[in-house]
Chains A and B, each alone.
Chain A
Amino acid sequence: MTTDDYITAVMREIKLTKAAKARVREDLESDIATRLEHGMPMDEIVAEMGTPADVAQSIAENLPPDMAQKGSPIRFVYIACALVPFFVVAWVAVSLVSDFNANPGYYNYSTAGQYIMHGIRSLGAYWNIRLAFNLLAHMAVCVMGYRLFRNKWSAGDIRLLYMAIACGIIWLLEHPLIFGFDFLRTGYVFMTVIEIIRGLLQPQCVLALITTIFLFTVYARGQLTSPAKQAAEK
């Protein structure tokens, strides 16, 4: 391991503001250079200073909270994304009410009423339940993204990964649950590539895909740990 490798590893582990990181980097460079001047080999320096994770943890524990990293501003994008469906639903509701007022008698019953009248396999029920599934999965993605970016990568929690898998299952199961497992044959097997791509390009799918890619990147770097493991390490 070289000096640069060691310092880069500490910087990757440490959860501090940019300014605080720059200070730590300067001191580490200085102290490693001094040891090297004294003829100490790099292996011995690492053994004396501790692993990058140890150094990062020790500094983070002793620093005042204002030097700790507050998380990426990307987390606010997820808050905004979580609010969007409420505005959409409100807009649709207002439109429906104004349409109803403009054409009294045209609507025999509401969408919810269609669900009651025609059962779960009706088109109205399909859209209601699909909307509920999508909202549920979308909210889960927003929570996942927010938590992922709140404390930056290294504060990852393995439960985020379980949540991502649960979201995927919710999305995959929404059609079979509504229309029965026949839908697997008609809905998924005979889907064209263009249909799949078009489906994936929906805004909430794009958000979910990006979040999942970030999440798996963190997982691949071994930075998602369970709360129990985090407690044991402390």
Chain B
Amino acid sequence: MERYEQQFKKGILEMLVLKLISQKTAYGYDLILRLKDVGGGLFDLKEGTLYPVLYRLEDEGLIASRKEAVQSGGREKKLYDITGEGLKVVQGLKEYWDDFSRCVSGVMDAKEEKA
């Protein structure tokens, strides 16, 4: 069961991260908190899982990173913005997801047929 759950999560994590960044410019920790908040405990991520997702999206040109100085401590924050291409992909994924979830629900909710 755990293997299936992990596969589901892995499959849709990029879509969720992309959607969250499309709603608001975000940094890593912010994404972790928002996923935790909206995920109802299903997406309790750690940095080690999130960073590779961000790097894949950035390498595909769907998001872009920039740095911003932190008020104290002399360190910089790394912020992620959605790109024009990313917005198109989010829109496409949303439409696909609607069809996909409808189809899956149709199969999973179907009543058993007696032979």
Interface residues of A (CB under 8 A from B): 3, 20, 23-24, 26-31, 33-37, 49-50, 54-59, 61-64, 67
- B97, CB-defined interface residue at 8 Å: no
Indicate if B100 sits at the interface (CB-CB under 8 A).
Answer: no
Q: Closest CB-CB distance, A44 to chain B, in whole Å?
A: 13
Q: CB within 8 Å of A: which residues of B?
A: 27-30, 32, 46-49, 51-56, 67, 70-73, 75-78
Residues of chain B within 8 A (CB-CB) of A61 are 48
* Given A33-B73, A35-B29, 16 additional A-B pairs, CB 8 A: A23-B51, A23-B55, A26-B76, A29-B75, A30-B77, A31-B28, A31-B47, A33-B75, A34-B27, A34-B29, A49-B46, A49-B47, A54-B46, A58-B46, A58-B48, A62-B51
**Chain B proximity of A192: nearest CB distance (Å):** 57
User: Contacts of B48 on A, CB cut-off 8 Å?
Assistant: 50, 54-59, 61-62
Q: Smallest Cβ distance from B17 to chain A, in angstroms?
A: 12
> CB distance B56 to A30 under 8 Å?
no
Residue of B whose beta carbon sits closest to that of A37: B70
CB contact under 8 A between A30 and B27, given known A23-B55, A62-B53 = yes
Judging by beta carbons under 8 Å apart, are A30 and B28 in contact? yes
Chain B contacts for A28, CB-based, 8 A:
47
Which of B46, B56, B76 is packed against the most chain A CB atoms within 10 Å?
B46
Residues of B within 8 A of A54 (CB): 46, 48
User: Would you call A33 and B70 a contact (CB within 8 A)?
Assistant: yes
Contact A30 B78 (CB under 8 A): yes
Which DSSP category, helix, strand, loop or mixed, fits chain B's interface?
Answer: helix
Query: Which one of B28, B67, B71 has the highest number of Cβ atoms from chain A below 10 Å of its Cβ?
Result: B28
Minimal beta-carbon separation of A38 from chain B (angstroms): 9
User: In the assembly, what is the distance between CA of A63 and CA of B51, in Å?
Assistant: 8
Q: Which residues of A contact B32 (CB under 8 A)?
A: 31
- B76/A30 in contact, CB under 8 A: yes
Closest approach, in angstroms, between the C-beta of B67 and any C-beta of chain A?
A: 7
Task: Give B72 Cβ to nearest chain A Cβ, in Å.
Answer: 8
Known contacts A33-B70, A34-B29, A67-B55; A27 and B78 CB within 8 A of each other: yes
Q: Which residues of B contact A57 (CB under 8 A)?
A: 48
Name B56's closest neighbour in chain A (CB-CB): A64
Determine how close the nearest CB of chain A comes to the CB of B86; give it in whole angstroms.
18
A30 to B46, CA, bound (A): 14
Residues in B whose Cβ lies below 8 Å from that of A20: 55
Which A residues are in CB contact (< 8 Å) with B46? Answer: 49-50, 54-55, 58
Residues of B within 8 A of A31 (CB): 27-29, 32, 47
Instruction: Using CB atoms, name the residue of chain A closest to B73.
Output: A33
Pairs across A and B, CB under 8 Å, 6 listed: A26-B67, A26-B76, A33-B73, A37-B70, A58-B49, A63-B55
Most-contacted residue by chain B among A49, A57, A58 (CB, 10 A): A58
Which residue of A23, A34, A62 contacts B77 across the interface (Cβ within 8 Å)? A34
Identify which of B47, B55, B73 contacts A36 (C-beta below 8 A): B73
